[in-house]
């Protein structure tokens, strides 16, 4: 069985020949330092892991310093970027977006490992009007997607995303304004928050219908860490995440695409809500060592088995990062027996990592080959 067949069978809630093992996403820092500059597909082949390739084109609210411009601009959404610092360990960019109705500003920082926001785009309620009216939606390059899909071939699956700084509406909103402020607004001004989420939803549905339809992806990622029950309560999740998530997953299914819902923090108190949102898979099953709350895989399987594929579970820091091959082997077996003995499970690093030794990644792959059905 090829890696692609193995992973697609797991996503279909079936049992493949053995446990699929992968990582959520390769980070450029790790590829440059540990993998000697290999790209993601080469890294999967070097470590003998099943490939799960993330394909992404830049969103209108995520400037790419490597090319110095936005991909998604329009005559009514013109962005200027002031490069304040170019130090690779302490980058800083000031963004000014000009629209016919007014100006928006944002500040972004970064280092060799990641990027972050130092000043959010939404600063007052009226900013929603500019976003709703003028923010453009990315257009996908279907030829480039097809080329990458063919390049991956039988080595694994190709994953895509729904347009936006984050795929889910609530998560995207937390990208546009401080999460703490959005939570307060959700309690004090819920109608305004729903108006923001509805605006983002309209754009995302248009993106799905116009751009994702016909795109050669095996899996589309939705959600985001801001929906986790380690950040918001189940009550807030039910009101401000679930209705929009369900619409998105229905729309993806209508254009023939599978979806996986990403909660890179806590899931244990919203398992029933996650089951209602209509996604085909749930990730990342994060354990406490990486900020999640999954302590008993069997509890998750009791809710999801036969209804929702599961992706994740492996502690990318304390196991893949600093663990021994023996510990990684034992943990892989534990996850297999806890999440995956009935099938429908892809064992994966729970989220990003930057310093995992290549030997540990190879040990992870070898451990997966021992977990046969």
What are the pLDDT digits (tens) for 169-212?
999 999 999 999 999 999 999 999 999 999 999 999 999 999 99
Query: What is the Cα–Cα distance from 347 to 368, expressed in whole angstroms?
Result: 8
Residue 57's pLDDT band, with cuts at 50, 70 and 90, is low
Residue 73: predicted pLDDT: 76
232 versus 352: the higher-pLDDT residue is 232
Lowest mean pLDDT among 13-17, 119-123, 135-139, 202-206: 135-139
- pLDDT tens for each residue of 69-125: 444 578 999 988 899 999 999 999 999 999 999 999 999 999 999 889 999 999 999
Q: Would the pLDDT of 155 be above 60?
A: yes
Question: Count of alpha carbons within 13 Å of 22, Cβ hemisphere only?
Answer: 29
Angle between helices 242-254 and 190-207 (to 10 degrees): 10
DSSP 138: P
Q: Would the pLDDT of 324 be above 80?
A: yes
Angle between helices 325-339 and 297-304 (to 10 degrees): 30
Residue 74: predicted pLDDT: 87
**What token pair was written down for 345?**
């499970």
Residue 175: predicted pLDDT: 94
Residue 264: predicted pLDDT: 86
Residue 56: predicted pLDDT: 75
Sequence spans of domains, the chain? 3-57+138-370
Q: Is the pTM of this model over 0.75?
A: yes
Query: What is the Cα–Cα distance from 244 to 250, expressed in whole angstroms?
Result: 10
**What token pair was written down for 30?**
């790790």
Query: Between vectors from CA 44 to CA 348 and to CA 208, what angle results, nearest 5°?
Result: 65
DSSP 153: G
Q: Would the pLDDT of 154 be above 60?
A: yes
Residue 135's pLDDT band, with cuts at 50, 70 and 90, is very high
Residue 24: predicted pLDDT: 92
Q: Would the pLDDT of 58 be above 60?
A: no
Would you call 348 helix, strand, or coil by DSSP? strand
Residue 70: predicted pLDDT: 43
Residue 165: predicted pLDDT: 84
Residues 6+ positions from 9 with CB-CB distance below 8 Å: 1, 15, 16, 343
Residue 200: predicted pLDDT: 98
For the segment 63-68, the average pLDDT, to the nearest whole number, is: 46
Residue 130: predicted pLDDT: 97
Residue 138: predicted pLDDT: 87
3-57+138-370 sits in which CATH class?
alpha beta
For the segment 291-309, the average pLDDT, to the nearest whole number, is: 95
For the segment 262-279, the average pLDDT, to the nearest whole number, is: 95
Task: Label the pairing between strands 91-99 and 78-85.
Answer: antiparallel
For the segment 59-65, the average pLDDT, to the nearest whole number, is: 46
**Residue of 365, 367, 323 lying closest to 45 (CA atoms):** 365
Q: What is the DSSP string of 226-271?
A: GGSTTTS-HHHHHHHTHHHHHHHHHHHHHTT--EEEE-SS--TTSH
Q: How many C-beta atoms surround the C-beta of residue 124 within 10 A?
A: 7
Q: How many C-beta atoms surround the C-beta of residue 27 within 10 A?
A: 20
**How far is the CA of 36 from the CAs of 39, 47, 64, 74, 155, in angstroms?**
9, 13, 23, 38, 20
**What token pair was written down for 349?**
């690093």
For the segment 339-361, the average pLDDT, to the nearest whole number, is: 95
Residue 72: predicted pLDDT: 58
Residue 368's pLDDT band, with cuts at 50, 70 and 90, is very high
Would you call 194 helix, strand, or coil by DSSP? helix
Q: Would the pLDDT of 68 be above 90?
A: no
Would you call 155 helix, strand, or coil by DSSP? helix
Q: What mean pLDDT value characterizes the chain?
A: 94
């Amino acid at each position: 069985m090829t890696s692609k067949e193995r992973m697609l069978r797991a996503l279909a809630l079936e049992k493949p020949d053995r446990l699929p093992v992968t990582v959520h996403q390769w980070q450029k820092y790790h590829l440059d330092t540990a993998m000697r500059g290999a790209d993601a597909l080469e890294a999967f082949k070097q470590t003998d892991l099943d490939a799960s390739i993330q394909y992404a084109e830049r969103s209108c609210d995520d400037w790419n310093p490597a090319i110095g411009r936005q991909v998604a601009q329009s005559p009514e959404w013109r962005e200027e970027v002031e490069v304040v610092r170019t130090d690779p360990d302490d980058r800083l960019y000031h963004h000014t977006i000009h629209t016919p109705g007014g100006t928006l500003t944002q500040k972004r920082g970064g280092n060799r490992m990641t990027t972050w926001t130092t000043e959010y785009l939404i600063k007052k309620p009226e900013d929603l009007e500019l976003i709703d009216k003028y923010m453009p939606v990315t257009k996908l390059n279907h030829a480039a997607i097809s080329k990458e899909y063919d390049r991956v071939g039988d080595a694994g699956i190709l994953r895509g995303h729904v347009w936006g700084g984050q795929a889910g509406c609530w998560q995207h909103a937390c990208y546009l304004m401080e999460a703490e402020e959005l939570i307060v607004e959700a309690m004090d001004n819920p109608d305004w928050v729903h108006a923001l989420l509805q605006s983002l939803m309209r754009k995302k549905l248009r993106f799905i219908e116009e751009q994702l339809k016909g795109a050669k992806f095996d899996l589309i990622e939705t959600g985001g860490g801001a929906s986790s029950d380690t950040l918001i309560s189940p009550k807030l999740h039910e009101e401000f995440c679930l209705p929009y998530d369900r619409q998105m997953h229905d729309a993806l299914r209508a254009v023939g695409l599978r979806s996986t819902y990403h909660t890179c923090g806590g899931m244990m108190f919203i398992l029933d809500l996650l089951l209602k949102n209509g996604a085909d898979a749930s990730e990342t099953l994060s354990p406490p060592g990486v900020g999640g709350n999954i302590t008993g895989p069997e509890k998750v399987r009791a809710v999801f088995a036969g209804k929702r594929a599961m992706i994740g579970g492996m502690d990318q820091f304390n196991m893949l990062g600093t663990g021994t091959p023996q510990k990684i082997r034992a943990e892989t077996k534990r996850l297999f027996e806890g999440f995956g003995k009935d099938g429908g499970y892809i064992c994966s690093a729970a989220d990003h990592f930057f310093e995992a030794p290549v030997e540990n990644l190879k040990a992870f792959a070898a451990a997966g080959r021992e977990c046969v059905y």
